[in-house]
Structure 1
Amino acid sequence: MSHQLNPYFQAGLDVMDQPCLVIGGEREAEEKSGRLLNAGARITVVSPALTPTLAEWVTTGRITHHQRDFENTDLDGVFLALNTINDDEALTAKVYKLAIAQRILINSYDNPTHSNFGMMALIHPGHLRLSISTSNASPALASRLRKDLEGLFDEEFVDYLNCLADARQRVRDKVTNRETRFALLRALVRDFRVEGELHYPAQWRKYAEALLNCELDACGTEGRCEDCPLVSE
């Protein structure tokens, strides 16, 4: 059985110097604010409380903070909004409705129904931006892939990519022949390879079948069913 999922249209969004709103002050807000900072956005965070890292960014002037709950006027003039609060359905619906009415890009954490764009798992060593999406089939798998791939791109890769950037600029400045430029730059990456293999959980089909056939009633009240094969090991 496979559900119809939104594959999204992958694109790089230019938020440089754009006003962006982050609702919430917990770990998810910190992670999303960090990504916006890396992209050069002007960030306002609305939350009664902040993580220590967010508080430090406020102190150093990197972000603006309104120490209160969300108000409708917080969306005025905003280019993009990220609602990182996922335990208040009424707030999520309200923010989404207001954002759509004002043609604002809105992402609600773990709630694609109340989002008009998706946030991909991101790997960003140096200049590289590698995004991972499972079309909301399994955000947990996207996170797992991100963690494993992050360990693959080491400091040497960052140095290598910096060298490629410098070489590309120098070649573009000095070499007028287009084919010669391409040949020189391709030579620098000719032998670059990424090699690896996938390791799947043992008996994953058995576990998936058990999950699909389980009523899951006890999971909401007791934490898990008795002798649940999914979490008993």
Structure 2
Amino acid sequence: MRYFPLFMDLLERPVLVVGGGEVACRKVETLVRAGARVTVVSPKVEPYLRELSESGKCVWIPRFYEQELMRDQFVQVWATTDNPELNHRVHKDAKNAGILVNVVDDTPYCDFITPSIINRGRVQIAISSGGSSPVLIRGIREKLEAVLPMNTAQLADFAASKRSDIKRHFATVDERRKFWELFFKQPLVINCKDNQELEKAYQALIHADAEFTDSCTWIEFGEDPELLPIKAMRIMQEAEIVFYDKQCPFGFVDLVRRDAERIAFDDVTQVSSDIMTRKADKQRIVVFVEPNSSSYKLLKEGDEVIELAKVK
């Protein structure tokens, strides 16, 4: 993984865009939506950029780029012209000034790249191949767009509005996380049409003294993570801690919830006491074990075991 994925807060942050064509239009539109203070440098600009400038949404400097325009106050620089020599000069000036720079469609001259984005209000999904296969990424985006509900933004806004209230009801982050997991699984919430339905579901659940479940699930690994059952994937996303055999391919471990604690072992008996302690603490546990291991079969009493799908 060459590029580290992150979302950067550009609200009221100065950004320089060199170029005024269609490529610049696409970049400036996204930057303005993110709240950046955009400066465009180009002797001519597309009508869209002119309108943004006239409405005060960006600043247009109608001249050719010169090094003196590269000020260290900028947090990002974009070179979007159709002149590679000029773009590379912008890149050099930005690097000398210690500013992150992106030369559009010229990956070797990019400190960062922009992914394909699915936008649902507060919820954003970014997809990237590191610039190697835009067509593949477009296909993945189309698939995700088709399955991601349009009310996702509404759900995110509702949850944000309840941040203070939920803290009054639940003291710990873990309790709040488990509450929201139950909330977002409710059919009324999944199919909600307005905030009244969400409020009704919220009040019913928060006053229902819902019991948060704990579990210890043993998942047998193999060579191919794609053979994991859907049930295993759901449990892995809910787990708070994962124990895994060092022989387990990391493709399995990487599918567990990102903020779950991870503990590796050579033999499961090495961590048996830790597993028992976590179970007593009512945590949700996943243990990846080698299918032919006899050790774990002595420890799994009362727990669920999930096997990989068999390929015929």
Structure 2 gaps of 5+ residues are: 191-312
* Match of residue 13 from structure 1: 8
Alignment of 1:47-86 (within 5 A): 47-76=42-71, 77-85=73-81
* Match of residue 39 from structure 2: 44
- 1:34 partnered with 2:33: no
1:173-222 deviation digits (Å, cap 9, x = unpaired) = 553344432222221223699xxxxxxxxxxxxxxxxxxxxxxxxxxxxx
How far has the Cα of 1:147 moved from its partner? 4.7
Aligned residue type for 1:108 = V
Aligned residue type for 2:78 = L
How far has the Cα of 1:134 moved from its partner? 0.7
Residue number among 102, 106, 118 corresponding to 1:123 in the alignment: 118
**Distance in 2, Cα, partners of 1:188 & 1:75:** 50
* Match of residue 88 from structure 1: 83
How far has the Cα of 1:142 moved from its partner? 2.3
Residue number among 149, 152, 160 corresponding to 2:155 in the alignment: 160
**Distance in 2, Cα, partners of 1:25 & 1:153:** 34
**Distance in 2, Cα, partners of 1:31 & 1:101:** 26
Aligned residue type for 1:20 = V
Aligned residue type for 2:46 = T
More strand by share: 2
Contact 1:168–1:185 (CA under 8 A) maintained in structure 2: no
1:144-188 deviation digits (Å, cap 9, x = unpaired) = 433554454454222222222223443135533444322222212
Partner SS state of residue 124, structure 1: strand
**Distance in 1, Cα, partners of 2:166 & 2:30:** 31
Contact 1:79–1:104 (CA under 8 A) maintained in structure 2: yes
How far has the Cα of 1:84 moved from its partner? 1.4
Alignment of 1:83-232 (within 5 A): 83-85=79-81, 87-150=82-145, 152-190=147-185
Change (3 A) 1:55 1:189: same
Bigger radius of gyration among the two: 2
**Distance in 1, Cα, partners of 2:161 & 2:110:** 38
Partner SS state of residue 14, structure 1: coil
Change (3 A) 1:111 1:178: closer
Aligned residue type for 2:30 = R
TM-score normalised over the length of structure 2? 0.54
**Distance in 2, Cα, partners of 1:7 & 1:20:** 24
**Distance in 2, Cα, partners of 1:178 & 1:97:** 46
Number of matched residues? 187
How far has the Cα of 1:141 moved from its partner? 2.6
How far has the Cα of 1:63 moved from its partner? 0.4
Contact 1:81–1:106 (CA under 8 A) maintained in structure 2: yes
